[in-house]
Amino acid sequence: MIDNEIKHCRICQSQGAPYAYTPAMSDAPPGALLKCPNCGQVWKSRFEHTPLSMAGEVAIRGFSIQHAALVMDQLPETVAHAAGVRVLDVGCWDGAVLADFPASWVRHGIEPHSGAARMAAERGLTVFSASLESAPLAAAGYDVVVLLDVLEHLEDPLAALKILSASLAPGGYLVALTGNATSFAARFFKGYWYYCNYPEHIAFFSPASLRQGLNASGLNLVRLTRCRHHSASLSVTLKRILRRLRARPAKGEDALPLPVATLDLVMLAASRILRGRDHLLVLAQKPGDATLL
């Protein structure tokens, strides 16, 4: 179903202004994007709540496409090399990243897709097959919280950040990776930016909106890095584009619907090839003295 129009920014509550339209797809009409004049957050004014089956079967999509090293490199060495660190991976999929953290860590994950959660549990990990809102998270129960390619999926990212902040122990760290709505590709292509055209992507952060969201959640920004996503190589990009041209892609990672117009397809492909550093990698910390680290 399609929700009522979301007119106000979910980060600062300012009235959104018309920004752009995503192109018409083979199975979806054009979609309006709004932009916050205050913090620069961009969001889909209407979006469809799709079933978890959109994520595809685990065997089709494959394993997690990030690496624990991405997180470990962000953390202070005193944390990365400590034993007994309690880590929570939100949206852990099949648990590949979570399993890659040190075996001496206490590794928990949240994954609403039942098939992926089952595979993660088979790795010997503790995984909550639930939404973030319903997961049994203990207050101050974690030293590190990880959100890799997750924030853009959340209808209310500020509410999610507040939940995760409460689950962090004093001095704990949050590491997040998400798209950058102020990158060259995002500003130049706007509604044609490939990142906006994944149907499950609904929230697009600017550095300012991310900083404001963290502050409102009781977290201090330690470092914000503009970076290229792991899938930004030209060879990976061209392979994905060719797959979409040859046949309808399988559900999952490549489930970007095909646009109705050829020009729209060209624009979407160009936005992926010229994407540059269109992601934000964030390290934030909860105030207070660390109790376990």
- Domain segments of the chain as ranges: 17-285
234/215 Cα distance (integer angstroms): 36
Helix axes 207-216, 157-167, angle to 10 degrees: 50
Give Cα separations from 269 to 58, 185, 194, 205, 245 (angstroms): 26, 11, 7, 22, 11
Tens digit of each residue's pLDDT, the chain (293 residues): 345 789 999 999 999 999 999 999 877 789 999 999 999 999 999 876 554 555 544 444 444 456 899 999 999 999 999 999 999 999 999 999 999 999 999 999 999 999 999 999 999 999 999 999 999 999 999 999 999 999 999 999 999 999 999 999 999 999 999 999 999 999 999 999 999 998 889 999 999 999 999 999 999 999 999 999 877 666 766 776 676 666 655 554 455 667 888 899 889 889 988 999 999 999 999 999 876 55
99/107 Cα distance (integer angstroms): 8
Q: Say if domain 17-285 classifies as CATH 3.40.50.150.
A: yes
Give the max Cα distance, the chain: 57
Give the CA count within 13 Å in the CB-facing half-sphere of 30.
10
175/285 Cα distance (integer angstroms): 9
From first CA to last CA, the distance across the chain in angstroms is: 45
201/149 Cα distance (integer angstroms): 10
